[in-house]
Structure 1
Amino acid sequence: MPKTLFDKVWDSHIVTEVEGGQEVLYIDRHFIHEVTSPQAFSGIRERGIDIFRKEKIVATADHNVPTKNQHLPIKDALSKLQVDALEQNCEDFGIELYGLGHPYQGIVHVIGPELGVTKPGMTIVCGDSHTSTHGAFGAIAFGIGTSQVEQVMATQCLLVERPKTMRITIDGELGEGIYAKDIILYIISKLGTGGGTGHFVEYAGSAIRSLSMEARMTICNMSIEMGARGGMIAPDETTFEYVKGREFAPKGEEYEKAVKYWKTLYSDDEAIFDTEYTFPASDIEPMITYGTNPGAGIKVTGNVPTEEEVENPDGLKKSLDYMGLEQGEALLGKKIDHVFIGSCTNSRIEDLRIVADFVKGKKKADHVNAMIVPGSRQVQQQAQEEGIDKILAEAGFELRQSGCSACLGMNEDKIPKGEYCVSTSNRNFEGRQGPGARTMLVSPLTAAAIAIEGKVVDPREFIMQKVAV
């Protein structure tokens, strides 16, 4: 019987089926951080049991950590409490921790792939919704709640319901200045924040195949923003070359053996998906959000919709009131106060290279606070080795230390109330980047162009100028 990529990976991890339609799924890798693990550790202690397979856990501090002076004690009381608790829990249970100061420290969904921990065909979970990032490798990866974190710690398994399957195909050639972030914001703007509910999404088509691994991670990262359980992309030579030689990747004959299996991970020609969508790559342009959810996106050259153009007029009015925008308004030329480049969506070395290439020899607008936060210590070090840090500094950008930073406002990096922040992160909810902060989601290139100009612009204009010169 023909199978989808999802079915192949899921079926190979079923431990047993449970009456009522649920299944017990074996979990290959469990990522934990300081925010959603303390209660799970407490539950394990209360039960008087040990962690079943602690070698399957990868622990790091990322959400609450400061991104300046990480060698000093954490000033924020809550952040310090949670990071200290993670350190103590890992010490008590014998789990290796990539904490502050460790060369492998960073955002959990950045360090997994870059260390070679994430591999095709795996099942991966974390108490974080953007675990879907790892699906870019042909893995089943999804976020879980705190009680489920405890369940995996105790059994290395999860009791779950099998989701439906969806395939989204993007065929054609992407235009100049169009990046993975534009693709996924475009898809979510078409399907809405509930369009993927109950599904695991496979992304396919020539435009997806043309993407680098880091770009594929961006696509899968935001699958959750359209309500999907997760996202996947079938592994190919791009995947195999990315994994090869990384710290925890298989080596020598083991690598060759692994690749042989990885090559079987694709959706069969006759495989049937519960839902399918197809979009032309030619229709995708640089995107920007105007509202308070990731589905509220438009082409950067477009206009904010009117009540007559949306299904939820009251929701539109509420979001525009929060954002300080008007129906039908063009965003081009809108003054921006802050630019944040980072998060598990766009903080990898490829993202920093895109920004550095654009801003080299330029200066950011005087009124813009431009902050770049690498996704890991390794990304930070590589940026320094390549001279990216100097290019950014000369352009007036501040390069911080690794962490989640202004993506979610759980740390010191917050956007002031009422001010506009163009961000490469994944969510633009009310208060996401700080109480009253107004967030617009964009790609790293668009963010870089806006930082230089100090207002919303179409980055393609500057690319064409560069070509003309």
Structure 2
Amino acid sequence: MAKTLVDKIWDRHVVRSISGGPDVLYIDRHYIHEVTTPQAFAGLRQRGLPVLRPAQVIATADHNVPTENQHLPIRDALSRLQVEELVRNCAEHGIELYGLGHPYQGIVHVIGPELGITQPGMTLVCGDSHTSTHGALGAIAFGIGTSEVEMVLATQCLLQARPKRMRIRVEGTLSRGVVSKDIILHIIAQLGTGGATGYFVEFAGTAIRALSMEARMTVCNMSIEMGARGGLVAPDETTFAYLEGRPFAPKGAEWERSLAGWKELYSDADAVFDKELLIDAADIEPMITYGTNPGLGMAVGGRIPPADSIPDPGERQGLQKALNYMGLNSGVPIKGLPVQNVFIGSCTNARIEDLRLAAGLVRGRRKHEGVRALVVPGSQQVAAQAVAEGLDRIFTEAGFEFRQAGCSACLGMNEDKVPAGEYCVSTSNRNFEGRQGAGARTLLASPLTAAAAALTGMVTDVREFLS
């Protein structure tokens, strides 16, 4: 019987199927960080339970950590407590921790792939919604809640209903100035934030195959923003070349055995999906959001849609509320909107290729005097590579701040917040009200579009720099 890639991986990990209920799904890798684990470990203590398989758990500190002076004690009391709790819990249960000061420390969804811990055919979970990032390597990866974190720590399994399957094919060649972030923002703008609810999405097509591994991670990272349980890309030669030689990737004969198995991970030609969508790559332009969810996105050169054009009263009211919060009006261009902040970072766009993209545009130029621009590498490994390539100097000479690894201004959970009422062109994944700080106004975009905004002080079509 023909199977989709999701079904192939899922079936290999079902420990038991409950009649009329969910599957007991075995979990290969469990990533944890400081925010969603304190209650889970406390629950284990209350029950007198150990961590069943600590060798399959990897921990790092990322959300609450400062991105300056990481050698000093964390100033915020709650953040410091959470990080200290993670250190204590990992030591108690024998879990590998890449904490502050460790050369492998970084955003959990950056370090897993770059270290070769994430591998094709695996099931992976984390108490973080953007765990879907790891699906770019051909894995089933999804976020879980705190009670589920406790369940996986105790049993290495999870109760999960089998998801529906969707395939999104992006065919053709991307236009100049259009990158992976634009692909996923374009898709989410078409589907909306609930268009993939209940599905696991396989991204396919010639345009997806042409993407690098890091670009594929950006696409899978934001699959959750259209309601999907997760997203993935079938592994291919690009995947295998990316993984070979990484610290925790298989070596020698084990590599050859693993590779043979990975090459069997694809959707069969006659596999049936519950839903399919076809996107013409030529239709995708540099994108930016204008509202308070990732589905409210548009081409940079377009006009904000009029609220009165939406027939559904609830959606119409929601759009008007979003525009009121953002201080924007229907029917007007977004290009030229003055911005005060630019953030290049997050688990969506803080890898070395993202920094190279932005640095390539910034090189030899100077940021606008009215913009504060932060560049935050996704990991210590990315930061070290950026320094080795001189990218940090390109940014600092242009007036940008080059920081230390962490989630930073993606979310208002650390010191890198956007002031109330100010606009931030951000390469992160969410633009909810207050996401980057109370009253902050977030415009999601690619590293190229963000860099262009930093240089001009306004929303800019990056193609003007590339012509």
Taking structure 1 as the reference length, the TM-score comes to: 0.98
State how far apart, in whole Å, the 1-side matches of 2:198 and 2:77 are.
Answer: 38
Aligned to 1:402: 405
Secondary structure in 1 matching 2:31: strand
Secondary structure in 1 matching 2:82: helix
Cα drift, residue 96 of structure 1: 1.6
Deviations 1:7-36 (CA, angstroms, capped at 9, x unpaired): 000000000111223100000000000000
Amino acid at match of 2:352: I
State how far apart, in whole Å, the 1-side matches of 2:400 and 2:213 are.
Answer: 26
Matched, 1:416 2:431: no
State how far apart, in whole Å, the 2-side matches of 1:309 and 1:283 are.
Answer: 22
Match of 1:447 among 447, 450, 455: 450
Aligned to 1:345: 348
Sequence identity (%): 67
Secondary structure in 2 matching 1:231: strand
Cα drift, residue 307 of structure 1: 1.7
Match of 2:395 among 392, 396, 399: 392
State how far apart, in whole Å, the 2-side matches of 1:147 and 1:74 are.
Answer: 27
State how far apart, in whole Å, the 2-side matches of 1:22 and 1:315 are.
Answer: 34
Deviations 1:167-194 (CA, angstroms, capped at 9, x unpaired): 0000000010110000000000000000
State how far apart, in whole Å, the 2-side matches of 1:36 and 1:456 are.
Answer: 35
Secondary structure in 2 matching 1:411: coil
State how far apart, in whole Å, the 2-side matches of 1:434 and 1:179 are.
Answer: 27
Matched, 1:425 2:428: yes
Deviations 1:126-181 (CA, angstroms, capped at 9, x unpaired): 00000000000110000000010000001100011111000000000001011000
State how far apart, in whole Å, the 2-side matches of 1:32 and 1:307 are.
Answer: 41
Deviations 1:76-99 (CA, angstroms, capped at 9, x unpaired): 111001001101111111112100
Aligned to 2:238: 238
State how far apart, in whole Å, the 2-side matches of 1:309 and 1:114 are.
Answer: 45
State how far apart, in whole Å, the 2-side matches of 1:77 and 1:21 are.
Answer: 43
Amino acid at match of 2:199: H
Aligned to 1:467: none
Amino acid at match of 2:384: Q
Gapped runs of 5+ residues in structure 1?
Answer: 465-469
Amino acid at match of 1:414: K
State how far apart, in whole Å, the 1-side matches of 2:32 and 2:319 are.
Answer: 36
Matched, 1:8 2:8: yes
Cα drift, residue 367 of structure 1: 0.5
Matched, 1:355 2:355: no
Amino acid at match of 1:277: L
- The aligned runs of 1:45-84 (5 Å cut-off) are 45-84=45-84
Secondary structure in 1 matching 2:68: coil
Amino acid at match of 2:403: R
Gapped runs of 5+ residues in structure 2?
Answer: none
Matched, 1:289 2:289: yes
Taking structure 2 as the reference length, the TM-score comes to: 0.99
Cα drift, residue 308 of structure 1: 3.2
Secondary structure in 1 matching 2:196: coil
Amino acid at match of 1:232: L
Amino acid at match of 1:267: S
Amino acid at match of 1:294: P
Matched, 1:375 2:345: no
Matched, 1:335 2:338: yes
Amino acid at match of 1:362: R
State how far apart, in whole Å, the 1-side matches of 2:437 and 2:338 are.
Answer: 19
Secondary structure in 1 matching 2:222: helix
Aligned residues: 464
Aligned to 2:150: 150
Aligned to 2:26: 26
State how far apart, in whole Å, the 2-side matches of 1:133 and 1:229 are.
Answer: 11
